[in-house]
A and B are shown apart, each in its own frame.
Chain A
């Protein structure tokens, strides 16, 4: 590894610390944003009458200590893997998250695969036929899918499935460990609904990246040397054009996590999204905190990993 790259990687890893700390501060402060007496809100009117229950919660959340101390104590517990207990069921938040996280992870990976598998070829085709009918229809496709909310696409998929392919199960979930094939099949409609929306963004990005590379000198040189058109596009240009797409996929991951939360609600998948939404309806704030912390950290780490990968692939980038 050359020096500037090591410096860059080191810098990014160092910057990870303040970002994750900031994320934890905001997540921690979230329950203090709730207007009114915190203990009463967290416990509900009836349970909060019981002095013993009150004291137990105050003790568990360290509410009798100054805010900064509360945060540090909470952070210490989080770092030791203790995310507290659900305010509604009393179950360990960590165990609940561990149960639903694999579902969301599978959905995210499937969605990203679909988005790339559809978006990249579409973008390349549009770029090589720039200005022609296929380019124009790709543009229309992209605009429509960028504009359609994933929960609407999902709903249309369910309606269409029920109407034209009633034998096809569109709702429900099969754990991956139980039957990988059936699990992937059952999640396909959800992943496709979300993946199409993201593929539209990736297609547009790939197209402009491709066009930029196709206009560069080395492509002209390859063409002048008499390299066949296909080889120029797929061997010379595509490789280079895909590099920024990698970094872009990282930034899309943040949105993908948010989209997954909603699409899980549409397709009744028992993932993190349903967990968060149910926790919100039940005012289960410790659960909300844990879920947001986990999802956001995951998004930050994936984004960083893809960004570093981007820099590893592309040696020409200047390390600012």
Chain B
């Protein structure tokens, strides 16, 4: 049976309370944010402090997750790594959401030749394997954090633009928008009060999912040595350098690898839960045989 309750009201709250993925995703993302914000207080040591004579120590009471090949505390590096990861992921997704949505709403609302051209350009951007394009762009521009953010934002932007465009196209012919227009509302008012608020839930889902993808892309680029540069403790870079010692000291790769996985998982769960809340059919489907 289809649940027509929509997305507001007490039902959505009740569904949210029941949703295990929302709770799990929320906790993981909250933990990630706390780790990033409070790293100096949570981490037992500074991420770049070298303990001579304590290279490649297994996890133990002094170094909870062991030490790396030059004698740095892995727990501290993993905690500070959340700053590196989110420090690239959040600005690039925010940039992509703002520019992509503006572009998409404009294209969907006004349409015309610009719209056709923009869609072709997006087709081209979608044609490239994202990682490959990111590798190429970062290689051409040089691996700095700013270039990394710009590149990832450029790759993420079309998803938001296409999403916002199609949602705007679907809203435009609806009665409440037509009525507003007939009443003489300005374009700005129609977009601000009728179109954008209706886009927000869809965009929120995409934001969570994009954050999970972007964290993976940053990790992959750092893994290849094209992302955040050492000595900054990026998870991808730690994993890459740890591979040399992985058979004798697996914690060198397991700790950063699990950190990436957990961060991506958190945003994925959050995105999934948001989508289930928005589309009760999907959530309900789980219970119908």
Residues of A within 8 A of B (CB): 15, 18-19, 22-23, 25-26, 30-31, 33-35, 130-131, 135, 143-144, 146-149, 151-152, 155-156, 158-159, 162-163, 208, 211-212, 214-215, 254-255, 257-259, 261-262, 265-266, 276-277, 280-281, 283, 285, 288, 292, 295-296, 299-300, 303
Contacts and interface: CB of A to CB of B under 8 A. Distances in A.
A120 B115 CA distance: 37
Given A159-B250, A280-B135, A149 B140 contact: no
Contact of A152 (B120, B135, B261): B261
B43 interface: no
A147 B257 CA distance: 11
Residue among A144, A151, A158 with most chain B CB within 10 A: A151
B18 interface: no
Interface in B126-156: 126-133, 135-137, 139-142
Given A22-B124, A31-B140, A155 B132 contact: no
27 contacts: A22-B120, A22-B121, A22-B123, A23-B124, A33-B137, A143-B269, A144-B265, A147-B261, A149-B219, A149-B220, A152-B239, A152-B253, A155-B243, A156-B257, A158-B246, A159-B253, A162-B247, A211-B285, A215-B285, A254-B128, A258-B132, A262-B223, A266-B243, A280-B139, A280-B226, A288-B136, A299-B128
Contact of B212 (A147, A211, A254, A299): A147
A257 B261 contact: no
A32 to B, nearest CB: 9
Contacts of A130: 285-289
B140 A155 contact: no
A234 to B, nearest CB: 16
B250 A19 contact: no
Contacts of B261: 144, 147-149, 152
Contacts of B274: none
A261 B140 contact: no
A135 B286 contact: yes
Interface in B218-262: 219-220, 223-226, 236, 239, 243, 246-247, 250, 253-254, 257, 260-262
Residue among A19, A130, A143, A299 with most chain B CB within 10 A: A143
Contacts, number: 152
Contacts of A148: 257, 260-261, 264
B287 A34 contact: no
Interface of B: 120-121, 123-133, 135-137, 139-142, 212, 216, 219-220, 223-226, 236, 239, 243, 246-247, 250, 253-254, 257, 260-262, 264-265, 268-269, 272, 282, 285-289
The SS class assigned to the B binding surface is: helix
A152 to B, nearest CB: 4
Contacts of B139: 280, 283, 288
Contact of A30 (B126, B136, B239): B136
Contact of A258 (B130, B243, B272, B285): B130
B265 A147 contact: yes
A299 B127 contact: yes
Given A130-B287, A155-B243, A147 B137 contact: no
Contacts of B243: 155, 266
Given A158-B246, A277-B135, A15 B123 contact: yes
Chain A to chain B: the 3 pairs with minimum beta-carbon distance, closest first: A22-B124, A258-B131, A258-B129
Contacts of B250: 159
Contacts of B132: 257-258, 261, 276, 292, 295-296
Contacts of A285: 140
Contacts of B136: 30, 280, 288, 292
Contacts of B123: 15, 18-19, 22
